[in-house]
Amino acid sequence: MADFAYSLNDPFPAECRGGAVTLGNFDGVHRGHQALLAEMIREARRLGGPAVAVTFDPPPAFILRPQAFQPFLTTVPYRCELLHAAGADHVVTIKTCAELLNLEARDFFEQILRDGFQAKAVIEGFNFAFGRGRRGTGEILKTWGEAAGMAVTLVAAQFEGGEPISSSRVRTAVLDGNVGLATRLLGRPYRVAGRVTTGHQRGRSLGFPTANLTAIENLVPGPGVYAVRATHQGKAWDAAAHLGPRPTFAEASPSVEIHLLVFDGDLYGQTLEVDFYKKVREPKSFASIDELKKQIELDVGMIERTLKSA
C-alpha cells in the first residue's frame, strides 16, 4: 500500500496504472464512500490490477466557494488512512489548482483517467460530476469509458434512517452534537485530533484534570459533554469531553477539554485522537463549584456506563 501526492502534469505513479479507480473528495469516508471502495476492490481483483482511490487537496469547492465551506470532517492524512483501511491498494491525492478546475470534462477524462491512470475500470457514485462547471456526468463517463474499453460502474446511494448518506449529512449531525447518528453514517465513531496544551488548570483543582486540545484541523462537534475515547500512540483511555464555552467561569470562548477517566502521566505537547460515542448533556452554568463537581461526578458515572457497552 502506498500514498502518492500528485500535481497536474506530474508523471503518474506506475503502481497506480491499469487497475480500478474511484475519484472523489471522500471527506469522512462514510458508508456511501465505503460502498464505492468495495465495488472498486471487486473490480480490481477481477481485472488483476491495483485498486486506486483518488482524492483532492483541498476539495474543489473549497477553492470555488470558500465563503460557504465548513471545516473538513477528515484531515488528508486521516482520510488516506481510512481509504487504505477500506481496502484501497494506493491512494493518490491530487493537488487542486486552477488548471485542474479549468479542465473540460473530456480533457479531464482523457488526461486523468484514460492516459494517466490507464484505468480499466472506474467506479463512481450515482451523482458523480467532473470537469469544468461539473459538465461531465455519470452517463457521459459511461459513454466515454465504454468507447475507451473502460468498465464504468455507478453505485447507488446508501441509506440510513430512510435518507441518503452524505458528507453534508454527517457534518450536520456532528455540528448538532448527534454523534450517535454520525457513527451510523460513518460506520465508526467521529474523530478529532489535536495537540495537548496547558489550559487554566481548573479541572485539576476540581479533582478532574483535563487535557486542553488545540490545533484541531477538522470539524469540532457542537457544544456539550460527551462520552469519548482518547488515543495516543496506540493506547486508548475512556474519557469525558467538554466542548464549548464554560459559563460557570463566565468564559464565552469555546474550548475542547478531555478528562481521561483513569490516567497518570503527562501528555503536554502530544497529539491526542478523540473518538465521540455519545452526547451526555448540554453545557450549563452552575451556582457554585460544589454543584459543578457533583454534576461532573454524575457525568463521569454515565460516561463509564456508556463506554462499557460501546
Least confident of 64-68, 104-108, 168-172, 281-285: 64-68
**Confidence band for 208, pLDDT divided at 50, 70 and 90:** low
Whether the pLDDT of residue 248 is over 60: the answer is: no
pLDDT given for residue 201 in this prediction: 54
57: buried, middle or exposed (CB in 10 Å: 19+, 13-18, 0-12)? middle
pLDDT given for residue 199 in this prediction: 59
Pair (132, 230) in one structural domain:
no
Residue 284 lies in a domain: yes
**Confidence band for 63, pLDDT divided at 50, 70 and 90:** confident
SS3 category, 310: coil
Residue 148 lies in a domain: yes
Pair (6, 148) in one structural domain:
yes
Residue 64 lies in a domain: yes
SS3 category, 280: strand
Residue matched to cell numbers 490545533: 215
Domain boundary among 100, 133, 156: 156
Please enumerate in sequence order all residues whose Cβ is within 8 A of that of 184, keeping only pairs 6 or more positions apart, or say none.
Answer: 160, 161
For residue 174, give the nearest of 79, 81, 279 by alpha carbon: 279
Whether the pLDDT of residue 106 is over 50: the answer is: yes
CATH number at residue 247: 2.40.30.30
| H/E stretch holding 124 | strand 121-125
pLDDT in tens, 22-40: 999 999 999 999 999 999 9
Whether the pLDDT of residue 276 is over 60: the answer is: yes
Please enumerate in sequence order all residues whose Cβ is within 8 A of that of 52, keeping only pairs 6 or more positions apart, or say none.
Answer: 16, 19, 20, 21, 22, 40, 44, 88, 89, 90, 91, 92, 117, 119
Pair (143, 228) in one structural domain:
no
Does residue 222 contact residue 174 with C-beta atoms inside 8 Å? Answer: yes
Number of domains comprising the chain: 2
Structural domain range at position 63? 2-156
Residue 177 lies in a domain: no
Maximal C-alpha separation, the chain: 73
Pair (10, 136) in one structural domain:
yes
Whether the pLDDT of residue 265 is over 50: the answer is: yes
Pair (87, 203) in one structural domain:
no
Whether the pLDDT of residue 256 is over 90: the answer is: yes
Residue 152 lies in a domain: yes
Pair (22, 142) in one structural domain:
yes
**Confidence band for 1, pLDDT divided at 50, 70 and 90:** confident
Does residue 6 contact residue 52 with C-beta atoms inside 8 Å? Answer: no
